[in-house]
Structure 1
């Protein structure tokens, strides 16, 4: 059996889809399952059992002998949330409990970290573990992920295989429930569909022109391919970046959405909301050399290709 936490969420549900494609059908899906909209992500997937998030540790203590692998993808991912206690409980401390059982029962695990740990990028975007403790996240969500990464590296007892994946800007199917935290592709498609135009955040940094803020956008199918590969290559534990390795502008992204929709470009700018303005990353780009160095060789989608697949293969077929 394979455990996937955050099973009903964006990346978790896509990972289960990938596992099913590869004929792994004994999936233990872990989530709260209290969001009917999000639960639609699980429709049609092969799952052996659903376990409430709050009951996972007790379930593991009973069923550990049957578990082959743990994917701990679930987390509170709202970068605008400032409830530090909640983030510490659900992201940092919960992951520690999963880790401890992974050690105790000798179950390999992959867990979700985040590029939010890099903050302004003053130390670059290199996943060298010797420098991870120096990173300065810009928000409590990023700090909750950073706190666990630092804790994990400091542990004397580690799972016989483990990998922490610093997800960059992931986009793709099954993110429709995420609201404000959904990708810009999702928001662009909806806005263009309704109004014929897209409003991007204006730059409040003199080093970047409007719309030329850059992020490392990575297609969710590439993310789950890496997760799946790691289950079969359990020799190099550690923390790894997981992005496309290529920063692109929000203008590039928006133009790709217009093109995929077959519509004429109509782009304007609005002020970045004040509650996130001073916590805003203007540039992210994953250094992917470390993952490549352990043998991962599959190419990542170019932004235009991923956006086209997402828009034409999924968004255009939804009733929004």
Structure 2
């Protein structure tokens, strides 16, 4: 059996689809299944068992001998969350418990970290583990992810294989439930469909013109390919970046969304909300050499390719992946 936590969420539900496509059907999905808006993400998938996240470790104690691999992708992912008790419970304490269980039962583990750990990027975007304790995230979510990375690196007891993946700006199907935290592509699509225009955040940094803030946007189908590959690789444990390796502007992203929809380009700007303005990343770009160095060589979608697939095959049809 393969365990996927956060399974009704965005990336994890896409991973279940990828596993099913490779004929892995004994999937144990773990989540808070009371959140109804996420449930369409896992409908129609081949799943062996559903386990509530609060009951998972009790379940694992009884079933560990059958578990081949754990993908721990469940987390509180709202970057505007300020309740540290919630973040500590879901992003730190739960992950520590997962790590310790994988050590005890010798189960390989891949877990979700985040590019939010890099903060403003003053130390760059290299997944050099010696820099982890020096990083200064800009929000409590990023801090919770970095705190776990630091804790994991300090442990003498480790799963025989483990990988922490610093996800950059992931976009693609199955993020429909994420509301404000969904990718700009989804927000752009909805706005363009409704009124033929889209409004981007204005730059409040003199080094960047409006709309030329840059992020490493990575298509979710590329993310799950890396996850699938790591399940088979099972060596070279450590923390890895997972982005496209190519920073692109929000104007690039928006123009490509208009183009994929066959709509004329019409872009406005508004001030960045004050609650995120001083925590805003103006530039991110994953250094992907570390992942490539251990043998991962599949090409990633370009932004143009990813947006076209997402818009035309999912957003315009209402399909899930």
For normalisation by structure 1, the TM-score amounts to 0.99
- 2:192, 2:273 → 1: CA distance? 20
Q: What is residue 252 of structure 2 aligned with on the other side? A: 252
- 2:314, 2:255 → 1: CA distance? 18
Structure 1 stretches of 4+ with a deviation exceeding 6 A read none
Q: What is residue 19 of structure 2 aligned with on the other side? A: 19
Q: Say how many residue pairs are matched.
A: 319
- 2:157, 2:109 → 1: CA distance? 14
- 2:42, 2:90 → 1: CA distance? 22
**Any residues of structure 2 matched to 1:263-274 within 5 Å, and which?**
263-274=263-274
**Any residues of structure 2 matched to 1:98-247 within 5 Å, and which?**
98-247=98-247
CA deviations 1:5-42 (Å, max 9, x no partner) are 00000001000000000000000000000122210101
- 1:88, 1:284 → 2: CA distance? 25
CA RMSD of aligned residues (A): 0.6
- 1:105, 1:38 → 2: CA distance? 30
Unaligned 5+ runs, structure 2: none
User: Displacement, 1:235?
Assistant: 1.2
- 1:48, 1:96 → 2: CA distance? 25
Instruction: Give secondary structure in 1 for the equivalent of 2:30.
Output: strand
Instruction: Give secondary structure in 2 for the equivalent of 1:130.
Output: helix
- 1:131, 1:274 → 2: CA distance? 30
Instruction: Give secondary structure in 1 for the equivalent of 2:60.
Output: helix
- 2:238, 2:40 → 1: CA distance? 33
Q: What is residue 34 of structure 2 aligned with on the other side? A: 34
For normalisation by structure 2, the TM-score amounts to 0.99
- 2:235, 2:77 → 1: CA distance? 29
Q: What is residue 76 of structure 1 aligned with on the other side? A: 76
Unaligned 5+ runs, structure 1: none
